[in-house]
Amino acid sequence: MSTPVSPSPAAPGFTLPGLRWIVAFLLLLASVIHSVDRLIFSILAPTIQADLGLTDHDYGNVISIFLFAYAIGYLVTGRLGDRLGTRLSLGIYVAWWSLADLFTGFAKSVASLGACRFLLGIGEAGLPTTAPRVVAEWFPAKERAVAIGMYSVGGAIGATITPILAVGIANRYGWQAVFVITGIVGIAFAGLWLAIYRRPQEHPWLGAKERAALVADREAEPDTTPKIPAKQAWKILLTSPVVWTVLCSRLLTDPVWFFYNFWFAKYLNTERGFDQQALGGIWVIFLAADAGFLLSGFISMWFMRRG
Residue range 36-57, pLDDT digits in tens: 999 999 989 989 999 999 999 9
**Angle, to 10 degrees, between the axis of helix 19-43 and the axis of helix 241-262?**
50
Q: How far apart are CA 229 and CA 137, in angstroms?
A: 25
Residue pLDDT, tens place only, 239-252:
888 888 888 887 88
Residue 99 has pLDDT above 80, yes or no: yes
pLDDT on residue 11: 46
Q: Determine the average pLDDT of the residues in 114-140.
A: 93
294 against 223, higher pLDDT: 294
> Which homologous superfamily does the CATH classification assign to the domain defined by 19-221+263-305?
MFS general substrate transporter like domains (1.20.1250.20)
Q: Determine the average pLDDT of the residues in 230-235.
A: 75
Least confident of 88-102, 136-150, 292-306: 292-306
Q: What is the mean pLDDT of the chain?
A: 84
Residue 296 has pLDDT above 80, yes or no: no
pLDDT on residue 2: 47
Least confident of 40-44, 81-85, 134-138, 255-259: 255-259
Burial environment of residue 33 by CB neighbours within 10 A (0 to 12, 13 to 18, 19 or more): buried
Identify whether the C-beta of residue 214 lies closer than 8 Å to the C-beta of residue 147.
no
* Every domain of the chain and the residues it spans: 19-221+263-305
pLDDT on residue 102: 98
Residue 213 has pLDDT above 60, yes or no: yes
Residue 3, helix vs strand vs coil: coil
What letter represents residue 274's amino acid?
A: F
Q: Determine the average pLDDT of the residues in 67-76.
A: 92
Q: How far apart are CA 229 and CA 42, in angstroms?
A: 42
